[in-house]
Structure 1
Amino acid sequence: MGPPKGATRTISQQAFDEMVRENIDDLGMDPAEALDDAIQTLTLQGVDLTGIITCLPGESNPVIECLGKLREEKAFPEILDPLNELNVLCKDKGSGNASIASKNGAVELLISICSKLRKESQGLASALNALASVIHDLQSSEIFKENGGPRIIVDILKGERGDANTLEGCFAVVAAAATGNEVLKDSFMDLKIDELIFQVLKERNVGTVPSIYDAIRIILTSDDNRVLASQVFGYARKFSELGIAEILVDSLREEASFPHLTSAAIALKSVAVNDEICRSIASAGGIDVILNCIDNSGLLGNSGVAKTCCSLLSKLAGSDANKAAIVEKGGMDRLLNLSARFSDDPSVLQEIMSIICTLCLRSMENSACAMESGAGDLAIQAMQKFPASDQLQRNACFMIRNLVVRNPENRKLLLGNGIEELIRRAKQTHKSCKDAATDALRDLGVNNYNS
């Protein structure tokens, strides 16, 4: 059970159980009624019931049963069943099982088991997967840190690189533990996790270790609200200096249709934090690879890959040198072809308009090319078809502005096709579009653009 909004109070398992027992003994409620009353009362009082076992008196909880079996210190392979069962239980994010497990010592227990199973690759992989499922929030990641988790995981990575399942489990733990925890990101970087990631990417077919992409993304994401100045930008530069960006390009090139393409593209985007890195990705053939992935996503109808690759291409287009390369390789026509294949999906269309907007920024030539390829028609048709999609309407306004701000000849074409009415409607309908719409109307040269 998740915490109610604004919850600031907690309760122990013992206090909760006593409350249910009092409802039965003192108020004469039957067990089910007593349990339901306790939950409702505490919820209304703003008590956070995360991690509290809410079973009827006398009933067993499967998470507690698994932990009990694991504490019996069974040898391999008997330990596999409870490890795998715990993993399945805690992977169910809506169940609250991970909270129950971590509150009852699962993180500490699984770290100990991982250390003991170093010689049993199958058992170790199962223990790592269970640990990754149990670590789900700041509290559980802090327990992981306090019990030496980072060092143990890195030591396993150093010694067990021959087994894909073990690697997959290790990087899943890294991703889970570092999520929302800047201190753990720093701990892993101090332990040279970047160098280990580089070695694994270089040595293996990374399609067998997809969690490595999640680990890269998480380590390079600033997601800890406790920290005012994150270090992830510097981490990304270290990743690039090792050559991880180029290896990720190779991964996309070799397996352009493999099932983890989206994760790999997001990981590469996480590394591309400055102009120099974006240009190095292009030098490694990254633009050709991404455009090919975009073409394939359209042919296969894979909207997830289409959106992710457009977003990645937009990041690379932040470099002026890459803008020219993308257009020279037919990028505008390929993006407009993609828009035709996903004409009924506003989430893809808004990404396409975002990348076209970036390509046209400060470039008369690219703006002219975009109009010739049909970007103006795309904006008009999308705004007409999806008036309720605020992000699409906003991205269309941004794109229109860049199409016309340096190219007055484009203004007449767009105004003649009714773009002003569509922009004003977006401005009135969506609060998030107000500034973008105003700027677009101003650069179109219309009167009363601010009204």
Structure 2
Amino acid sequence: MSEKMAGDPSVFQETFQSIVQQNIDDFEMEREEAVTDALQQLVAQGVDTRFIVADERAGDVPTLIAELAALAAEPEPERLCDADTERSQLPAVCALLRHMTLDDDVRVPYGRAHEHARQLVAEHGLLDALLELLKGAVDEPALSAELIHTCTKLCVRQEFCEQFAGGGGLHTLLETMRRSPSHTALVGRAFFLIRTLAGCDKVKRAIMDEGAAEVITAALDTLKAKVLVCESAFAAIGALTLRSQENAAALAAADAIPVIVAAMELHLGEPKTQKLACMAVRNMVSRSPELRPVFRELNIEQLINQVLQAHGPKVDAEARAALRDLDCQVTLKEEWTGRGGALTTGRITEPERPDA
């Protein structure tokens, strides 16, 4: 079984539906029998069938979203058992909906992922339904992680980011992080959503107004040994502090600087992590000269130079930019001088003169 088959719920679902349809078309099975046989085949292959939506809702977007909206409301007592059963399938439903936002059709020159995400939000109200579910799942970190991950895939436009924020999403998102600061999947995906939302300047300010600086610092400090969490945290910090002196100051006031440096020190062998960290550091200090000595006192110059030496071109531009904006000694590379010649060798070749 392929690695993707072993770990992607959307592939489980797609394979399941293909087997069911084949059983119906080729073997003339009734749907119930076709479903049972398909599940048995997947179990025999080692697939965790808990992530399979086994009824006819799969692929029916309006029905799926209507059920999400129903689950977001408080269920009536007589529906509690059915609601609990449906709620257990939410991770699989979320995976299916995320699958609809992927550019996975290699037959076309331009994917329609953005358009699909727009339709799910604007025409089907999916973002609002997910947000209501998230509000009711703040004490369920695994489910919250799935809902947050799906929201990230849908916030592809500025107005959608504003819609999430305007619906109370920022408070709910940060509250889930406060309640489950050691849940790796939840915190990592929450950081990715923060990074996405921070692409909208209006929402970027609102995130910090909700007290995000303290939450971000605490979450990163708790999980700084986790590479992927550090990467998502650095990406979020970089987005929040880009062209924002106020946000940089708020993070510094929350003691984020020593936490950032400590996380960098733990992952010196990870070029991607260090690249994102250098971008975050650079954005924090570029418009805030008062923060530069705070970083330098923590030996950030030596640390970044170690990163440069270890990873070279993989981090070169970001590391040198960070050193420059930290007012540290740095040798900037002149990539091109405007003269003709072989750039890869440094040799200058005189142009041939036409015969007189």
Same fold (TM over 0.5): yes
1:273 aligned counterpart, secondary structure: coil
Give the letter for the 1:274 counterpart: R
Which residue of the partner structure matches residue 148 of structure 2? 265
| Distance apart, 1:318 and its partner CA | 1.4
Cα pair distance change 1:269/1:111, threshold 3 Å: farther
1:313-347 CA deviation, whole Å, 9 max, x = no partner?
A: 22112111111111111100111111222233232
Residue range with higher mean Cα deviation, 243-252 or 369-378: 369-378
2:25 to 112, 116, 130: 112
Which residue of the partner structure matches residue 276 of structure 2? 395
Cα pair distance change 1:336/1:422, threshold 3 Å: same
- Preserved CA contact (<8 Å) 1:128 1:166: no
Cα pair distance change 1:173/1:428, threshold 3 Å: farther
CA distance in 1, matches of 2:283, 2:260: 12
1:438 pairs with 2:320: yes
CA distance in 2, matches of 1:371, 1:309: 20
- Preserved CA contact (<8 Å) 1:172 1:214: no
- Preserved CA contact (<8 Å) 1:364 1:406: yes
1:169 aligned counterpart, secondary structure: coil
Which residue of the partner structure matches residue 79 of structure 2? none
1:260 aligned counterpart, secondary structure: helix
- Preserved CA contact (<8 Å) 2:20 2:38: no
1:278 pairs with 2:278: no
| Distance apart, 1:375 and its partner CA | 2.3
Give the letter for the 2:207 counterpart: I
1:255 pairs with 2:168: no
CA RMSD of aligned residues (A): 3.3
Which residue of the partner structure matches residue 287 of structure 1? 170
TM-score, normalised on structure 2? 0.75
CA distance in 2, matches of 1:281, 1:444: 35
Cα pair distance change 1:216/1:449, threshold 3 Å: farther
1:146-178 CA deviation, whole Å, 9 max, x = no partner?
A: xxxxxxxxxxxxxxxxxxx9982258965xxxx
- Preserved CA contact (<8 Å) 1:332 1:356: no
- Preserved CA contact (<8 Å) 1:124 1:166: no
Cα pair distance change 1:130/1:280, threshold 3 Å: farther
1:194 pairs with 2:61: yes
Which residue of the partner structure matches residue 209 of structure 1? 89
Give the letter for the 1:378 counterpart: V
CA distance in 2, matches of 1:404, 1:284: 32
Cα pair distance change 1:449/1:225, threshold 3 Å: farther
| Distance apart, 1:126 and its partner CA | 2.9
Cα pair distance change 1:361/1:106, threshold 3 Å: closer
1:131-146 correspondence to structure 2 within 5 Å: none
Residue range with higher mean Cα deviation, 253-262 or 240-249: 253-262
Give the letter for the 1:354 counterpart: A
1:168 pairs with 2:81: no
1:88-103 correspondence to structure 2 within 5 Å: none
CA distance in 2, matches of 1:432, 1:409: 29
- Bigger relative contact order (CA 8 A; separation at least 6): 2
CA distance in 1, matches of 2:110, 2:39: 32
2:241 to 360, 365, 379: 360
CA distance in 2, matches of 1:344, 1:172: 41
Which residue of the partner structure matches residue 77 of structure 2? none
1:240 pairs with 2:121: yes
Cα pair distance change 1:166/1:429, threshold 3 Å: closer
| Distance apart, 1:310 and its partner CA | 1.3
| Distance apart, 1:215 and its partner CA | 0.9
Give the letter for the 2:326 counterpart: L
1:218-239 CA deviation, whole Å, 9 max, x = no partner?
A: 0001133443211111111111
TM-score, normalised on structure 1? 0.60
CA distance in 2, matches of 1:371, 1:428: 28
- Preserved CA contact (<8 Å) 1:114 1:128: no
1:325-344 correspondence to structure 2 within 5 Å: 325-344=206-225
CA distance in 2, matches of 1:329, 1:293: 13
Work out the percentage of aligned pairs sharing the same amino acid: 22
- Preserved CA contact (<8 Å) 1:401 1:443: yes
CA distance in 2, matches of 1:257, 1:113: 46
1:371 pairs with 2:252: yes
| Distance apart, 1:111 and its partner CA | 3.8
- Preserved CA contact (<8 Å) 2:238 2:283: yes
